[in-house]
Amino acid sequence: MGLHYSVPVQQKLVHYIQLIARWNKTFNLTAIRDVEEMVSKHLLDSLVVQPYVEGKTVLDVGSGAGLPGIPFAITSPEKRFVLIDSNGKKTRFLMQAKIDLKLDNVEVIHQRVEDYQPVADGHRIYFDVITARAYATTDEILSSTAHLQGDDTSILVMQGKLDERIESDRYQIVGSYVLEVYGLGAERHLLEIKKI
């Protein structure tokens, strides 16, 4: 995986990991405490998915510490990202990270995704891409975000061990990718799912 970013972008990514490490001491954002592990198991694990994120609006469901949403927002400032999580401690961290990293392309929502009803100019908002990493089962992700999916929405589900089962006949897997993460010997997969 060849990740090539400008020095300012690299500095923001490092600052982001430093923020996680600092806040993690109090807010338990992640079970990983070692900064080097955070880089491989969180940062690089998120960034390896970025080539599959097409479109202008991205919803990161169960964003937690902002993974993968914040790394995407840092490296794709032209896109708009909505990071949603029902945990107040985590959304407080996300708000502070947004401020500290000067991420004008990020909106943080403290709410259950099932209850999130975005509207602009009197019309319901649908997202181009919905991402989920360590959030729920694939079927739970699909059902909890159904009201946020347009006809062309790509749902990107990040997985460890590959599981291509989908109970609903309203969806189809349009891509199944093996991901190689530098410094991470674990198996990683990405499912790309769309409505039929």
pLDDT tens readout for residues 99-120: 999 999 999 999 999 999 999 9
- Using DSSP's 3-state secondary structure scheme, residue 173 falls into strand
**Within a 10 A sphere around the Cβ of 133, how many other Cβ atoms?**
21
Q: Return the CATH number of 7-112+123-195, one of 3.30.1300.10, 3.40.50.150, 3.40.50.1390, 3.40.50.2030.
A: 3.40.50.150
- Using DSSP's 3-state secondary structure scheme, residue 29 falls into coil
**Neighbour-count burial for 149-188, b at 16+ CB within 10 Å, e otherwise:** beeebbbbbbbeeeeeebeeeebeeeeeeebebeebeeeb
Tell me the whole-structure pTM to 2 decimals: 0.93
**pLDDT-based confidence at 160, cuts 50/70/90?**
confident
Question: What are the φ and ψ backbone dihedral angles of 35, each rounded to 5 degrees?
Answer: -60, -40
Question: What pLDDT is attached to residue 99?
Answer: 98
Given a contact cutoff of 8 angstroms between Cβ atoms, the answer to whether 72 and 53 are in contact is yes
Give tens-digit pLDDT for 28-71. 777 677 767 676 667 888 899 999 999 999 999 999 999 999 99
Question: What pLDDT is attached to residue 78?
Answer: 98
Checking if the pLDDT of 2 tops 90, the result is no
Give tens-digit pLDDT for 59-102. 999 999 999 999 999 999 999 999 999 999 999 999 999 999 99
Given a contact cutoff of 8 angstroms between Cβ atoms, the answer to whether 94 and 63 are in contact is yes
Question: What pLDDT is attached to residue 72?
Answer: 97
Report domain extents, the chain: 7-112+123-195
Question: What pLDDT is attached to residue 88?
Answer: 96
